[in-house]
Structure 1
Amino acid sequence: MHPHTPRTPGTRQRRRTGSRLTGTLLATAALLAGALTAPTAAGADASSDDRTTATDPRPQAQAPYRNAKLPVDRRVADLLGRMTLAEKVGQMTQAERAAVDGDRDQITRLGLGSLLSGGGSTPKPNTPEAWADMVDAYQEKALATRLGIPLLYGVDSVHGHNNLVGATVFPHNMAMGATRDPQLVRRAAEITATETRATGPQWAFAPCVCVVRDVRWGRSYESYGEDPDLVTRMESAIDGLQGTRPEDLARPDRVLASAKHFAGDGDTEYGTSTTGTYTLDQGVTVTDHESFNRIDLAPYVPAVRKHHVGTIMPSYSSVKWTDAGDGKPVKMSAHKELLTDVLKSKIGFDGFLISDWEAIHQLPGDYAAQVRASVNAGMDMFMEPYAAPKFVETLIKEVEAGRVETSRIDDAVSRILRAKFRLGLFEKPYTDRSNADTIGSPAHRAVAREAVAKSQVLLKNSGGALPLKKSQKIYVAGVNADDLGNQAGGWTVTWQGQSGNGHFPGTTILGGIKEHAEQVTYSQDAAAPTEGNDVGVVVVGETPYAEGMGDVGNGGHTLNLSAADKANIDRVCGAIETCVVLDVAGRPQIVTDELAKTDAFVMSWLPGAEGGGVADVLFGRTPFTGKLPVTWPRSEAQEPINVGDTDYDPLFRYGFGLSARR
């Protein structure tokens, strides 16, 4: 099952067993609530007058952890010292909203620390008000617990608050990498944070700071590029989401960020394992320590030390060392060397680790072994969307049996509580809706349109074909010219995205062209007569996908253009004197044979909802400034290919991009 998505028809389903507490867990929880009180943590400042026991129903309003004037670490220590084991484990547990909707009281019974919306998991109607009402209703249940610890709500705001219809939808990360503009990336992230928090969620599972080394990977567009230095520059997104000071997190226009997916998920290989073949997504990074540090780990050092990212999400992928150990792949969810020894101890990460969707289910052994291995490796919070009660029960038993140390639990919970205090949730647990009227506003969409324009990469321009002129008669062909869904790609309203218009507001590329040109003819399949037109614009590319569903070789995906796209290029470029081709895709496609048929070729990436930005550069309103964030291969067989490789001979090199001015 792929992460961050509710079950849909045609997806292999895991039977939902976690909607209600089992009898065993109820008994365990009751026992713990009545008998277990954790010892006071070091540094806690609580007198016998204000410290209550696990069975004491008195409100904790005067407890030090409720005092916003005290330092965060002192508040954390005080609260931790009041918590039972069951309450601590509850804080380490994250469930999907759909799993609790039938019985929201389980938020209170389990003392859940977090909920999330998977891709496409939205309220009905999908409006800002409904989102805020939904999150606040869950929060009410969390505040009804003995200690009143607020809930943290997470959502995949990866190119805007993209689950919300009407939110500003930005280009995907690879397009943002093409802009080479960290300040623009930061502005986009600020808008994303504002729109996300105004609807309830206080936590974004973004940005992806993976370094893509093979564009056959279905998540390529989630990466800023193939060069660790470029990815590091684009980590300004963390500042845009969180702010630059610890106190910024409590603002109504900031959210907790999550750097993902730690580490090496863009550098995996095709291959086989004991369970059969595996593709690039959730695959194995075969590397030595020096290469891993230089390429895959590199972006996480500044993410932690410079940008102070609040959370990090470990990858589904594995690492297979070629210079140490037994050479067997180790899943990142259980990789103690990297999670604890490197990330937490050496790099100094003081936030918390959140597992990916059911990621621990891929570890060896039974469920108890999976939970134990991941907790002991350093995982702090567990995204167990439909197994939250089972997770709580299992981890409690592992601690009671001595297989997980209480100190490891205390470390994990302290990290989680620290984030909640910094977010100001104890003072203001409910949604601040004061910025709701800015969602999808003209000002926000203008920034998205600017990002689209700056991301366009001009790869060919013969005879001054571009920029176009308003007076020219323009013939436009291709499905992707007039399809918002294809233009936005995956992670847009739904997990996989969906073709077509009407799913969310925006402007197609065709709509943008019509804003600039006086005479435009559109023919999706180039069947309309071409005579009398000055310029042909053919828009080719991909249809939406997300994660491993987009891996080349999975579901028929390929880097090659479709037969329909090739036919449109042949018809239009063979009939109209000047022919421009735009590629709307999440990664480079193979255009080696088609390039000679064109006068101009532009990589438009997945621009999101503001297709007018594409037209802005076509007509010279904005100059072409975009540069390739990845190497463009001559053929699919040439992948993986990256700058610095021996015998580096791509169709277009990393960093290439022309300019076109009148």
Structure 2
Amino acid sequence: MPTSPLTATEQRFVAQLLAEMTLDEKIGQLTQPEKNSVTPEQVTRLGLGSVLSGGGGNPDPNTPANWRAMVMAFQEAALASRLGIPLLYGVDAVHGHNNVVGATIFPHNIGLGATRDPDLVRRIGRATALEVAATGVRWSFAPAVSIPQDVRWGRSYEGYSQDPALVSELAVSLIEGFRGDGWDSETAVLPSVKHFVADAAATWGSSKRVNREAMAEVQNADQSTDQTLAIAHMDQSFTELLKLGAWQIDQGDAEIDEATLRAVHLPPYRAALEAGALNVMASYSSWQGLKMHAHQYLLTDVLKDELGFEGFVVSDWEGIDQIFPGEYDRCVVAALNAGIDMVMVPFDLNRFIDSVRRAVLGGQIPHTRLDDAVRRILTAKVALGLFEHPRTDPALLELVGCDAHRALAREAVAKSLVMLKNDGDILPLRRGGPAVLVAGLDADDVGVQCGGWTVSWMGGRGPTTPGTSILAGLRHTLGAEQVQYSADGQLDAEPEYEVGVVVVAEEPYAEGMGDRASLTLSADQVALLGRVRARCQRLVVVLLSGRPLLITEELPHWDAFVAAWLPGTEGQGVADVLCGDLPFTGRLSFDWPQNSSDLPRRADSAALFPMEP
């Protein structure tokens, strides 16, 4: 059972500070706007407790030094407030400091789950924390401890595994890496364990995030009047994405019983709290029809009282707004009384502040509940040592994207690859052998390798951040003269190749924008594979994806098949294993479905490739 992270002296300090605070200063600590919706002057005047950068909430130009300058400007503003309470700046550093151009981008969690390597994840957590702290940030909205049950879900890649024990083990390892020498070290980063709870158990078709009829004529998300969806830039039109299944399951309703919730989805939270986590993020989703942001039983009775959580609960982005759509004051009252302590507003902070003030003065939110929320936030800030060292060492900037961290990411990539077929031992590829044909645009695309949550919310194609593509890695390892490349697989009549390597990938996506009704390869991808198959004696397929895709019908035409997940910036790690410099050691941490009838996952499903022990 977790105990207070503070000494008796520190607890008295928090109590004394709380006693000095005005009502407005208390409300300020609960308020977390997005950096594009707030000024440093407002941070000072309103005594705000936190600011965040949402996906793509970056300085211009996007450099590590500019990140630090931006964050420090907000921190200095907080320190200039009447009580000088330091700011807690938050970011989505979910696979490295992934919003920062030039940072090391590690494999997404689904790949780390395949490594089965807690020490590796711990070292990744430490490297990530160093790069995050270098920019002045001390809070990351990670780790996700989801247990995905339906891989049509666009957040499946944020889950380590479908095995709660493995998820618990790796989440604890990441938390230990974030902590480093201690929470009060200036390079410790507060983890946000998310999304409480059972976000990955939602039922297909239960999401109400998007009014599909109202959005039917919207061609692009940025044409929507929805401020959040306007940030979701993707190559396909919004109408087309809705037809493909976007926003069908993310933020939906988990209709499971409580026994399943406790047995499958709650254990990683218990493990994280025992490891010292001081922040939990509430889920957008519902449980049995009640929004988690209003779920007093789970947020207060279970998380805080039963599990003894002493930290604070933060809402997700505009999460409270969904409780009673269009009735904002009711949303605020329901969320705070249920157990939300800090609200990710993120746009209109004055509306939130005014609403809380009215509710407290009107008796709808008890003063004791307000004080409890503030105490929890201050407790985390004291535990992080923010009052002693609110500013991190600018010399840390030299660690952002450094060689040592990229070597660690390369190691992680190599350990994450899973060989699912290798007829005739075609792999590893041989140095000095005949020319190898490499095909597919995705073989030479760092942005695709990284996937969503990379520089922008949805991620994107192309050189979005410095890195090494799989093609570049193969050329480096085998030699440029042994690697022939065709982006589209369109070849002259001669020659025929002994081995062809085709890299195919999912388009980058995040959250509900990545929900898909069908997980098959596209017609263009199948045609590419056919063209290369016709010109090669043996075919190797490398799949970049945030989840297992349905490849049962195509698999017989492939001699070798490798799941490379979303490896991040270090594509050389893929080449290291394909070429035999390192062995295949990754093991499936998800069931690989045979067909669409296996979705969602069921106990009686016969997986094409079952999750490995």
Please report the TM-score for the alignment, with normalisation by the length of structure 1: 0.84
CA–CA separation in structure 2 for the residues paired with 1:578 and 1:272: 44
Q: Letter of the aligned partner of 2:34 in structure 1?
A: E
Shift in alpha-carbon separation, 1:490–1:273, aligned structure 2, 3 A: closer
**Counterpart in the other structure of 2:473:** 512
Q: Is the 8 A contact 1:459 1:601 kept in 2?
A: yes
**Counterpart in the other structure of 1:29:** none
1:145 to 70, 81, 98: 81
Matches within 5 A, 1:251-266: 251-266=185-200
**Counterpart in the other structure of 1:654:** 611
CA–CA separation in structure 1 for the residues paired with 2:206 and 2:467: 43
**Counterpart in the other structure of 1:582:** 542
SS state at 1:287 partner: coil
Shift in alpha-carbon separation, 1:448–1:95, aligned structure 2, 3 A: same
Matches within 5 A, 1:210-609: 210-235=146-171, 236-243=173-180, 248-272=182-206, 279-305=248-274, 307-320=275-288, 329-364=289-324, 366-472=327-433, 473-501=435-463, 503-518=464-479, 519-529=482-492, 531-553=495-517, 558-609=518-569
Q: Letter of the aligned partner of 1:361 in structure 2?
A: D
Q: CA deviation at 1:575?
A: 2.1
Q: Is the 8 A contact 2:207 2:250 kept in 1?
A: no
CA–CA separation in structure 1 for the residues paired with 2:137 and 2:127: 14
Deviations 1:446-471 (A, max 9, x none): 00000000000000011111111111
Q: Residue 94 in 1 paired to residue 32 in 2? A: yes
CA–CA separation in structure 1 for the residues paired with 2:311 and 2:597: 41
Matches within 5 A, 1:165-244: 165-235=101-171, 236-243=173-180
CA–CA separation in structure 1 for the residues paired with 2:446 and 2:536: 26
Q: Letter of the aligned partner of 1:408 in structure 2?
A: R
Deviations 1:41-69 (A, max 9, x none): xxxxxxxxxxxxxxxxxxxxxxxxxxx99
CA–CA separation in structure 1 for the residues paired with 2:51 and 2:262: 33
CA–CA separation in structure 2 for the residues paired with 1:222 and 1:404: 35
Q: Is the 8 A contact 1:301 1:347 kept in 2?
A: yes
Deviations 1:58-99 (A, max 9, x none): xxxxxxxxxx99732111111011111111111010011101
Please report the TM-score for the alignment, with normalisation by the length of structure 2: 0.90
CA–CA separation in structure 1 for the residues paired with 2:132 and 2:586: 28
Q: Is the 8 A contact 1:196 1:202 kept in 2?
A: yes
Q: Letter of the aligned partner of 1:476 in structure 2?
A: V
Could you say which structure has the higher helix fraction? Answer: 2
Identity %: 50
Q: CA deviation at 1:252?
A: 2.9
Q: Letter of the aligned partner of 1:237 in structure 2?
A: L
Q: Is the 8 A contact 1:139 1:151 kept in 2?
A: yes
CA–CA separation in structure 2 for the residues paired with 1:581 and 1:97: 42
Q: Tell me the number of residue pairs that the alignment of Structure 1 and Structure 2 aligns.
A: 567
Shift in alpha-carbon separation, 1:122–1:618, aligned structure 2, 3 A: same
Q: Is the 8 A contact 2:206 2:249 kept in 1?
A: no
CA–CA separation in structure 2 for the residues paired with 1:352 and 1:164: 27
CA–CA separation in structure 2 for the residues paired with 1:582 and 1:71: 56
CA–CA separation in structure 1 for the residues paired with 2:8 and 2:76: 25
Q: Letter of the aligned partner of 1:83 in structure 2?
A: M
**Counterpart in the other structure of 1:634:** 594
Displacement over 3 Å in runs of 4+? 271-278
CA–CA separation in structure 2 for the residues paired with 1:439 and 1:364: 42
Q: CA deviation at 1:532?
A: 4.6
Q: CA deviation at 1:227?
A: 1.3
Q: Letter of the aligned partner of 1:549 in structure 2?
A: M
**Counterpart in the other structure of 1:36:** none
Q: Letter of the aligned partner of 2:332 in structure 1?
A: V
1:73 to 11, 33, 45: 11
Between 430-439 and 216-225, the greater mean CA deviation after superposition: 430-439
Q: Rg larger in 1 or in 2? A: 1
Q: CA deviation at 1:225?
A: 1.3
SS state at 1:460 partner: strand
**Counterpart in the other structure of 2:244:** none
RMSD across aligned C-alpha pairs, in angstroms? 1.6
Q: CA deviation at 1:574?
A: 2.6
SS state at 2:89 partner: strand
SS state at 1:579 partner: strand
SS state at 1:71 partner: helix
CA–CA separation in structure 2 for the residues paired with 1:588 and 1:437: 37
Q: Residue 617 in 1 paired to residue 589 in 2? A: no
Deviations 1:504-536 (A, max 9, x none): 100000011111113111101111246253210
SS state at 1:624 partner: coil
Q: Residue 107 in 1 paired to residue 71 in 2? A: no
Q: Is the 8 A contact 1:588 1:633 kept in 2?
A: yes
Q: CA deviation at 1:276?
A: 6.8
Deviations 1:261-305 (A, max 9, x none): 001111100235889776210000001111110111121111112
Q: Is the 8 A contact 1:512 1:612 kept in 2?
A: yes
Q: Letter of the aligned partner of 1:77 in structure 2?
A: A
Higher relative contact order (CA 8 A, sep 6+): 2
Q: Is the 8 A contact 1:508 1:612 kept in 2?
A: yes
